[in-house]
Structure 1
Amino acid sequence: MMKQKIRFVRQVVFIVCLFGILFSYAMFQGGFVSWFLFYSFLPFGLYSLTIVFYPLHKLKIVRIVNQQQYHAGDRFNVTIQMTAPIFFPIVYIIAEDEWPPSIQMHYQRQNAKTILSPLWKKEFSWTYELRELPRGEHVFSTIRLKMTDFFGLVEKEVTYSAENTILVYPRYIEMTYRKVGQRFDQGVTASPLLLHRDMTIAVGVREYAQGDRFSWIHWKASARKNELMTKDFEERQSEDLIVFLNRTPTPLFEDMVTFSASLIRAAIKKGVQTGFVSVGSDRVIFPARDGEAHLHRLFYYLAKVTCDGSEPFARIIQKEIMQWPAAFSFCYVTSSLDKELISVLSDVASRNRYGTVFLIKDQETCLSKEERGMIEQLRRRGVVTIVTERRNFADALVKGGK
């Protein structure tokens, strides 16, 4: 506040001094030229002096967005409406909409800026468009206006608070959902059949495990043993799906989120109970459920998830997978393989917890010799590995079933 007052006084003193100098020059020098200079500067000087006193802070500023929720890649239109407190010939004004860091990083630009010439208009506006919105929650909070005179002698700047929050959900691709990597008595193969569930024949009871449905609880057995007991079905091959997302920093993380969102959406649309495991700076576990509400919660989380994991993906799988019944199908979404991950997945498979690794790459052919060897090693251990890229996400499960 003190700096603004000092700046105000300096600008007033500067303009008054210019008037004094030109007037003194005209008085002492006399003649047409000196008085012409004084009278020529007079309207511009008075305009500059008026700008110093103009109540720029009283402008009413509103940022208008057409909606609050988007998907990655959508277009985002912004309109900033301004209403002046009084009629005044504003020759030009510089408007700047300050972007959140997430937007600045994506577009590699600081802010959106333009020059407006409202002149005698009391109401004026500015519209701009952002293409290819990045995923995430973006908070727009500040608008700056800068007003100056013809010669740049004085300058007035005001910052307005105008908060708008938009949520950009991850992009998803329509995916043909098939179950892959199903284990049969003959060995490991892939089933091109659409999923179906047969849980009608109960052959016994067992202790309750996390992820078991409420309807599976055997109440009489639970009462006898004084602990929760679950019906054990003859058909244990379940269509329930658990997706593990690798949050280790990688340039392909956005592709991994897109694939995860597409897979989860395709599964839930087919009525598959789908869970999700995400461990990074935070630990987020979604139980296996279906329905639009569950899908919305997962997409809301995927809109804000970041690749901030510091713990190796292999150790996360090792810690988390035993919390789920073996009847679940497990999917691991990652962009890289390492020896520790191969070891853990092989050990998990030896405990009858079979899964599918989705290896996300820029190009399916850009696999190193070491990665090809690890993929073959996983397949020998009963872990199906599917290498895919963004343009082939739609057929990733179908390809896995061939």
Structure 2
Amino acid sequence: MIVFWFAVAAVIFLYLQSKLFQRFGWSRLTYTRKFQKRAVFRGEQLELVEQLTNAKWLPVPWLRVESQLSSSLLFQRQDNFAVSSGQLYQNHKSFFALMPYSRITRRHRVKCLKRGLYRLDSVTLTIGDLAGFSRSARRMLLSDELVVYPAPAPVSVSELPSHGWQGETSVRRWIAEDPFVRSGTRDYRPGDTFKQINWKATARSGKLQSHQYDYTADRKLMIYLNVDDHEGMWRDVADKELIECGIEWAAGAAEAVVDEGMEVGFAANMPLAGASESVFIEPRSGGAQLYELLEAMARLELVRTERLVDLLVREADRGYTGRDVLIISTYWNEALETEARRLRGGGNEVAFWRLEAGPRSGINGDSGKDGATA
């Protein structure tokens, strides 16, 4: 008889706790998930931080968090954390148990394998009672995002095309061990390096002064990147790794010239995520400009918006002058050479870097294109 009444009491208890949990289980239960940083470079690691708070007297016996993220974010293994990964996406399941008035913070180490824009859109939370009689699920919207910049290729000034930069004398002066010829001083500008500061002039004037170099006065580099992985490509990119390499070359070239105080811009026959037009950023100098370019490169979609030659026709029609132009492409043909001639005829210098399949440890230049190549 004692066993019977114990069984009855247990059933009543389980029924009551199930009803109680159905009514108050979600009350004062909060969940947040955020990346530790807003932006990193490809290959870097960061933390994804989850936080659960149960701010009520009723415990949560078990809670499961399910979400979907890109497979380009590599998670380290942890207890109570399961990852099922596919070619493009991976499914995550985290498991928690929360005592009354408690908070749990879990940090996941993540390695960013590819440049791009990664958003935390939503998670599905499922909670249940002690006996598993009652369970319910809710979808929670999130609003955090991570920007992964391309890792700039190691491009030094000496690796830039030697015969396409403001004439023979300037090139030799630029790539030498001591490349600068000073012509005076000027006010400090954001992006100037520590070694550019003229401390004597700063002391005399009472405000930061930098060395003025004659070859940097009006120097501007415009980088054009072609999304076509081969000549005759229609729309879809087959060799995405090759174009990703080109993006990193463009990032490396931009970083190299910004470090030297030059102005740099970027254009490509690709759109930014959510846009439909070719990306275009006018040359400017400084660290802020570099990170604007890196942000744009991170958000590039590998889709062709127009032919590269059409982009160059439009640029040549603008009639700008006094710029150094760098074109990064998997091919070079007569149509591109015609537009390069028009740009050179307007007082610009044009250079070409060829993207090629195979080992990509350095910059491959093709010297067979009459002054338009590296």
User: Would you call these one fold, judging by a TM-score over 0.5?
Assistant: yes
More helix by share: 1
Does the aligned pair in 1 maintain the 2:112–2:148 contact within 8 Å?
no
Task: Please report how far the alpha carbon of residue 53 of structure 1 lies from its aligned counterpart in structure 2 after TM superposition.
Answer: 1.9
> Is residue 2:123 matched to residue 1:143?
yes
Q: Distance in 2 between matches of 1:350 and 1:109?
A: 46
State the 1:174 CA deviation.
4.0
- Report the structure number with the largest CA radius of gyration: 1
What SS is found at the alignment partner of 1:194? helix
Name the structure 1 match of 2:211.
Answer: none
Q: Secondary structure at the match of 1:172?
A: coil
Q: Between Structure 1 and Structure 2, how many residues are aligned? A: 305
Shift in CA distance, 81/107, structure 1 to aligned 2, threshold 3 Å: farther
| Offset at residue 94 of structure 1 (A) | 0.5
Identity %: 16
Q: Does 1:332 align with 2:312?
A: no
Instruction: Report if the CA contact (8 A) 1:349-1:382 is conserved.
Output: no
Q: Is 1:381 aligned to 2:351, yes or no?
A: no
Distance 1:150 1:61, change over 3 A: closer
Aligned to 1:122: 102
Q: 2:295 aligns to what SS in structure 1?
A: helix
TM-aligned CA distance change 1:109 to 1:45, over 3 Å = farther
Displacement of 1:325 in angstroms is 4.0
Q: Is the 8 A contact 1:58 1:84 kept in 2?
A: yes
Displacement of 1:56 after TM fit?
A: 0.8
The counterpart of 2:253, out of the listed 249, 263, 269, is 263
Cα distance between partner residues in 1 of 2:94 and 2:73: 18
In 1: Cα distance, 2:99 partner to 2:263 partner: 61
For structure 1, list consecutive stretches of 5 or more residues without a partner in the other structure: 1-30, 201-234, 366-371, 386-402
Cα root mean square deviation, aligned? 4.0
Does the CA contact (< 8 Å) of 2:269 and 2:305 recur in 1?
no
The letter of the residue matching 1:314 is: V
- Supply the AA of the counterpart residue of 1:60: T
Query: Distance in 1 between the 2:255 and 2:86 partners?
Result: 26
Contact conserved, 2:269 with 2:307, CA < 8 A, in 1? no
Which amino acid counterpart does residue 285 of structure 2 have in structure 1?
Answer: D
Q: Verify the 8 A CA contact 2:309 2:339 in the aligned structure 1.
A: no
Report the residue type matching 1:317 in the other structure: L
Q: Classify 1:171/1:54 alpha carbon distance in 2 versus 1 (closer, same or farther; 3 Å).
A: same
Counterpart contact for 1:349–1:381, Cα < 8 Å? no
For residues 153-172 of structure 1, what are the structure 2 equivalents within 5 Å? 153-172=133-152
Q: CA deviation at 1:133?
A: 5.4
Q: Which residue of 2 aligns with 1:355?
A: 350
Alignment deviations for residues 185-204 of structure 1 (CA, whole Å, 9 cap, x no partner): xx99x956526799x9xxxx
Per the TM alignment, residue 101 of structure 1 is displaced from its structure 2 partner at its CA by: 9.8
Q: Paired residue for 2:92? A: 112
Q: 1:277 aligns with which of 267, 278, 302?
A: 267
Is the CA contact (8 Å cut-off) linking 1:348 and 1:354 kept in structure 2? no
Confirm whether residue 85 of structure 1 aligns to residue 55 of structure 2. yes
Q: Partner of 1:116: helix, strand, or coil? A: strand
2:66 aligned to 76, 96, 112, which one? 96
Task: Output the amino acid matched with 2:339.
Answer: V
Q: 2:288 aligns to what SS in structure 1? A: helix
- Letter in structure 2 aligned against 1:358: W
Cα distance in 2 for partners of 1:191, 1:363 equals: 30
Deviation per CA, 1:131-176, whole angstroms, max 9, x where unpaired? 1254333332433321124554321112333422333333224431
User: How far apart are residue 350 of structure 1 and its match?
Assistant: 4.2
Find the aligned partners of 1:303 and 1:264 in 2 and give their Cα distance. Answer: 14
- When residues 147 and 315 of structure 1 are mapped into structure 2, their CA distance, relative to the original with a 3 A threshold, is same
